[in-house]
Amino acid sequence: MHILVTGAAGMLGRKLTERLVRDGGLNGRQIDKLTLLDVMPPTNPTSFAGKTDMVAADLSMPGKAARAIEDRPNIIFHLAGVVSGEAELDFDKGYRVNLDGTRALLEAIRASGDGYRPRLVYTSSIAVFGAPFPESIPDDFHLTPLTSYGTQKAIGEALLADYTRRGFCDGVGIRLPSIVVRPGKPNKAASGFFSGIIREPLAGVEAALPVSETVVHTHASPRAAIGFLMHAAGLAGDALGARINLAMPGVCCTVAEQIASLRRIAGERVAARIRRAHDPLVARIVDGWPQRIEARRARELGFKAESSFDEIVRIHIDEDRGGTFVD
């Protein structure tokens, strides 16, 4: 089996690649080839027995998408994209990468003309939803994004569904909740603090909290996100019917509950490294975000998230900090 990962140099792309290399297979089939694509050259996985193809390319540039699918990958994980904060700051770049890049990939698949119909797993986001919300967002709630990023993701979902309905590809769109705890440096996403207030204190560093502790949000660990992607890759197409875009489950909790988990697991000294620093811009953006996601269909289809925020904190310590933290 041949797998293409776009956005392979990003956080989820790297973790997905590691997992695929470690497993050597996906859904019971051996992986013979991995094509890893990103605008910056992805790292070649050293311990992979199969063939690898490293591609530095922007899918929105002419010919790049056709080149990316030249060897007809069976499964495509389309993770490439500009994050929410950046898409809001740079309107042109957001539409070029998130909309035109996705459309170029779909068009390249359609243009293949040889019956090629890959499973295409598209990472959407709960940013497709926009306030005001009911207490819990059902699967049939309308998409009224309040950011350009959310708009671009909603459009990507619509295109994916139509190209799938027409038989050009075999798409599954998964709306990720906030992925927490993100390892490494903060990125430009407005949701960055949800990870920062756990990651930085565990590393012995102060972290700013730009919103109120009463803010409610839905989270899943990077490990759960990789699980969603792999599960989506193996879903039978007819299990989905025409509604191929699914909100993913997650742990729904307040910022105060996040902090309580951190305190329970790492102690008061660590939790005290969180500094209240209200940021009206971030607070306004986060106010427009969904709080509780029902994700009934996804749960019924076997997508699994963590069952508590404690579990999310422990996964971060285990997976990204070698089991330890700075007391």
CA-wise closest residue to 124 among 151, 86, 163 = 151
Contact 225, 16 (CB under 8 A): no
DSSP state of 293: B
- Among positions 73, 145, 201, 227, the unique one binding a second copy when judged by CB under 8 A: 145
For 137, the 3-state DSSP assignment is strand
Instruction: By CB under 8 A, name the one of 114, 135, 142, 185 that touches a second copy.
Output: 142
284 forms part of the interface with a second copy (CB under 8 A): no
Residue 86 vs 200, nearer CB to a second copy? 86
Nearer to a second copy, 92 or 327 (CB): 92
Q: In the complex with a second copy, which residue's Cβ is closer, 9 or 155?
A: 155
DSSP states along 88-128: HH-HHHHIIIIIIHHHHHHHHHHHT-SS---EEEEEEEGGG
**Smallest gap, in angstroms, from Cβ of residue 152 to a second copy?**
8
| Shortest reach from residue 195's CB to a second copy, in Å | 26
Task: Work out whether 312 is an interface residue with a second copy (CB under 8 A).
Answer: no
Query: In the set 161, 215, 282, 312, which binds a second copy (CB under 8 A)?
Result: 161
Any contact of residue 130 with a second copy (CB under 8 A)? yes
Stretch that binds a second copy, among 61-69, 152-160, 190-198, 298-306 (CB under 8 A): 152-160
Which residue stretch of 19-27, 144-152, 170-178, 273-281 sits at the interface with a second copy (rule: CB under 8 A)? Answer: 144-152
> Nearest-CA neighbor of 310 among 231, 228, 221?
221
Any catalytic annotation for residue 149? yes
Task: For residue 216, give the 3-state DSSP assignment.
Answer: strand
The Cα 190–Cα 252 span in angstroms is 18
DSSP letter, residue 249:
P
Beta carbons of 122 and 171 less than 8 angstroms apart: yes
- The residues that touch a second copy, with contacts defined as CB under 8 A, are 91, 130, 139-146, 148, 151, 154-155, 158-159, 161-162, 165-166, 242-243
Q: Which residues are catalytic?
A: 149
